[in-house]
Structure 1
Amino acid sequence: MKETQRQIQKEQTRIKILNAAYEEFGKRGIMLTRTSDIAKKAGVSHGTVFAHFKTQEELITAVIEDFEAKMMKRTHELAENCFGVREVLSAHLQGIKEFETFYTRLVIEIRMLPKSSRTTFISLQSGLSFHLSKILNKEIEEHKIVDLPIYFLFNNWNGLINYYLVNGDLFAPGESVIERCGDELLDYFMKLIKDKPL
């Protein structure tokens, strides 16, 4: 069924609100951003935000769900042709880099967000885990990397990246942490997990 002009316009307005929310959440913080800030950034009335999202919690969850969909799509695209752990981890970094400011705020504030938002964030992490676990198992069997539980390797990688993002003012003041430190973190992590001959 063909969409009407009004439906198209409504969807475009919703996208404008989501994009404005990404930017404002990244700049001000998710919990500190007011819906009026988002409305102003999107160029819509405050009431229009609530016409699309009944509550602020619903808006936050919608932004995180939209982010999850984009991040998963990007990670799948990048990881599809990867043949090794390093390539999958590099694809993960590239996916984060596209949404770095928002993702960093999400990592910082996740414990304060509504349960539905936390659930969506966990789903996002499991998407990366899916891609990574296949490659990790293969390289463990081939004795290319250390034989440790997959969850331990995944959590160490995730923890390393998140630590650098959360402390970006120390590691890359005023710059992208992924741009400045990504290759170095990848190199060190690969050295840590490389299997050593007995």
Structure 2
Amino acid sequence: MSKRTFDLLCSGFGLLLLSPVFLTVMIWVRLDSPGPVFFRQVRVGRHGKPFRIHKFRTMRVDAERAGRLTVGVDKRVTRAGLFLRKYKLDELPQLIDVLLGKMSIVGPRPEVQEFIDCYPPDVREMVLSVRPGITDWASIEMVDENQLLAGYQDPRQAYIDVVLPIKQRFYLDYVEQQSLVTDIRIIFATVLKVLSR
């Protein structure tokens, strides 16, 4: 089975199976704070092509004015957003992006251009040779990234100097060793990580 076929089956089945969850979350987000249900942001996709990622909105509508990184206990996060972020439910709308062919279920997480520009050229070329994913080993290992960044005076620089190199190592390993078996292992590891929280 090809990776794209696997993605189509998983995203289609996931959207169908989780439709009651989608509806519940959409109502909750709408009632919890003013603003749209979905958060859309331009990320860098395969071969450097930009696309708009879908997430459930977890912050106030003006949140990006204060920066793109979430650090520690961020007051911009809504009450619903705290729960959605903890259990990664805010990522579920990316199943739409997988269905549209912009993303894969498993792959390197898509970054904004600001941080892609910080990648060494050879690393950037390899990471962007595959579709970005909803989950990967880096997402599992760095699940509390915002707490890590809270320990630094300059969270943005810490993200560039400390977090990005760790993520890049995971990304490169995935690109070099990707397989359907690896994808299934990462999906199960992601579910177990979320449930353990």
Output the TM-score relative to the length of structure 1. Answer: 0.33
Greater Rg, structure 1 or structure 2?
A: 1
Higher fraction of strand: 2
Output the TM-score relative to the length of structure 2. Answer: 0.33
